[in-house]
Amino acid sequence: MRKYEFKVLNFKRSWAAMLLVLCMIMLSACGQAADNKAADPKATGSGQTTIGADSRIASMSIHLTNNLLALGITPAGSVIGGDVKDFLPHVKDRLQNTRKLGVVTDPDMEAVLELQPDHIFLDKKYSGTDVAKFEKIAPTEVFDLDEGTWRDQLKKIAAMVNRQAQADTFLKDYDAQKERVKKLIHAKIGDGTVMAVRVTAKEVRVMGMKRPVGPLLYQDLGLKPAKGVEKINKAYQVVSQEVLPDYDADAILVMISKGADAQKVYKQLEGNAVWQGLKAVKQGHVYMLDGQPWLDYSAMGHKIALDNAEQLFSK
């Protein structure tokens, strides 16, 4: 009987020891999982992606690139402007150590792969159907630039890279500058109406109410759109020279595309009797803008556009 009791006691002790070992293993596994979650850049309580300050970011949108620059972050790689075949002139000096990744409509995937980025930023409009090929290279974030404003996009990126304070400072400074520019423009044209015209190598465009130019002129700067501009519910409307008098603008802001052909088109426009008869032209209220930043719907683009306007209307 004692022998039997001894065996039972040994069995209980062995079973207890096994349970203890199993518990230790489970606790260790749970601890390791918690550590892995803490190390995972996407594992936050809110589900918001977080990206380290030293992460190598490949930006597949010039607008996302320029939002990063506004936060003091230089991407490791970025797409270039399709018209200029290079980084946009107003930010080129800030991207000297950034690798060129082709244009947004035709990215250089070999260059992206060689870059070995930690994260990739995509513009949904141009890369929404190709996300999988980027995800094979690195974790990928897709931005819908038609959702919200450039301010919303800046804040979203700031939350990802833990630069909320920089975003707040940028927006505060921007708002102060836009008020200064408002006063300068008002001093020149009063309460007059405004339209923006872009001259390309092939056509003349009246810029509408939508991005990139409309929100900056008619919302941020509070300018009054010329007659009919408010009906252009898109980026721009291609027009013939003959209809320009219909807008009856008190002031015209002109942007000329890069290249000799666009300059030639504008010279022809200047010599046209229709143009010379416009109220804004006769009153000397035609202002030449540095077009690239005005067409860059991003935090940095808008900031540099305001710099351009502040310098122009201070003369």
Domains and their CATH numbers in the chain:
57-162 (3.40.50.1980), 167-313 (3.40.50.1980)
Exposure string (b/e) for 157-180, b if CB count within 10 Å is 16 or more?
bbbbbebeebbeebbeebeebbee
Predicted pLDDT at 108 = 97
The mean pLDDT of 121-142, rounded to a whole number, is: 96
Predicted pLDDT at 31 = 45
pTM, entire model: 0.83
The answer, yes or no, to whether residue 14 has pLDDT greater than 90, is: no
The answer, yes or no, to whether residue 164 has pLDDT greater than 60, is: yes
Reported confidence tier of residue 18, pLDDT bands at 50, 70, 90 = low
In the chain, the percentage of residues whose pLDDT exceeds 90 is 80
In the chain, the percentage of residues whose pLDDT exceeds 70 is 85
The mean pLDDT of 22-44, rounded to a whole number, is: 42
The mean pLDDT of 79-85, rounded to a whole number, is: 90
The answer, yes or no, to whether residue 67 has pLDDT greater than 80, is: yes
Tokens of 309: 């306007």
Question: Between 37 and 239, whose confidence is greater?
Answer: 239
Reported confidence tier of residue 298, pLDDT bands at 50, 70, 90 = very high
Q: Flag the least confident range among 8-12, 250-254, 261-265, 285-289.
A: 8-12
The answer, yes or no, to whether residue 6 has pLDDT greater than 70, is: no
Predicted pLDDT at 49 = 73
Predicted pLDDT at 48 = 61
Predicted pLDDT at 50 = 82
